[in-house]
Amino acid sequence: MQLLFIADPLESFKTTKDTTFSMMREAQRRGHTIAACEPQDVMWERGGPVMAHVRDIVLTGRADGWFSVRQERAVALAGFDAVLMRKDPPFDSEYFYATHLLEQAERDGARVFNKPRALRDHPEKLAIMEFPQFIGPTLVTRDARDIQRFHAEHRDIILKPLDGMGGMGIFRVGPDGLNLGSITETLNRGGAQSLMVQKFLPEIAEGDKRVLIIGGKPVPFCLARIPQGSEVRGNLAAGGKGVARPLSERDFEIAHALGPILQSRGLLLAGVDVIGDCVTEINVTSPTCFQEIQQQTGCDVPALFIDALESAVNASVG
């Protein structure tokens, strides 16, 4: 297959842990060819197909200079067997526009994973609200009075922006309510922006678990991201320690319930975040943790993903 990865700059990849890199490595191992570009390289001119300025690359196997460029060219996205949208958040206006270009590319005949419409329809924090049976007490609002009421009821809460990633902008407010007003004003920008408020889950001390769902099926191991020191966030980007573990019975219950639904909507890969028994986010833009799980357990997550990708492409062709 000819694969196009739309991602962040290749030069920024940390290949010892980058999930997109692990996908590329497994794809090349199987004989698939790889091209890469960034969202700003995608274009659409009147009367023509959606195109992109891409680099055809080969992975070298070296830590330094991990890829070499065979050629650069402008090509229609429909010319690839699969287009993988792997751009990291934030899901801003440019990401939104990119999904529209990718949806037009689908009309041209491109096969895009994850499906652009599904990316738009599943904002990573808001998406959990569709599954109340699996989440803890949660509020989405821009109104400070709603937040005060929620805090008065639950006493210990987490506040976070809807468009954050890597633990960015997450605050905890305890029973004393210290700085609740100031934090609210910061996150809701004086009432102009919505945010999410959740009851604090003390099980975070045991880790914020990333449960991967590939082709509707759970990977049997998760990565528990454990906060360090006085930090409340388990995100690896915020200094959390990643420990791979087998899925619990509850993790499997969640994954088996959500997996077929997400797959039916065009989400080949999703990362469900679970604290204790509660889902806290459903990551669909560029879920990670492939390498950490593989390195610690031997479970070949990149191979599971490329298996699912090959099956999805073959099914669409057939």
Active site residues: 125, 160, 210, 225, 233, 273, 281, 283
Q: How many other β-carbons are positioned within 10 Å of the β-carbon of residue 20?
A: 22
- Which residue in this structure is represented by tokens 């906060």? 227
- H/E element, 81: none
Q: Alpha-carbon distance 102 to 206, whole Å?
A: 39
Cis peptide before 283 (omega within 30 of 0): no
Of 98, 88, 99, 76, residue with least CA distance to 4? 76
Note the Cα 20 to chain centre separation in Å. Answer: 11
Burial label for 245, CB within 10 Å (0-12, 13-18, 19+), is: middle
Q: Give the span between the Cα atoms of 142 and 150, in whole angstroms.
A: 13
Are 53 and 37 in contact by the 8 Å Cβ rule? The answer is yes
Asked if 284 contacts 261 with a C-beta cutoff of 8 angstroms, the reply is no
**Token pair recorded at residue 189:** 């920008």
Contact residues for 108 (Cβ-Cβ < 8 A; gap 6+): 49, 50, 76, 77, 78
In three-state secondary structure terms, 260 is helix
- Chain mean position to CA 246: 21
Side chain identity at residue 131, one-letter code: F
DSSP 176-239: T-TTHHHHHHHHHTTTTS-EEEEE--GGGGG-EEEEEEETTEE-SEEEEEE--TT-----GGGT
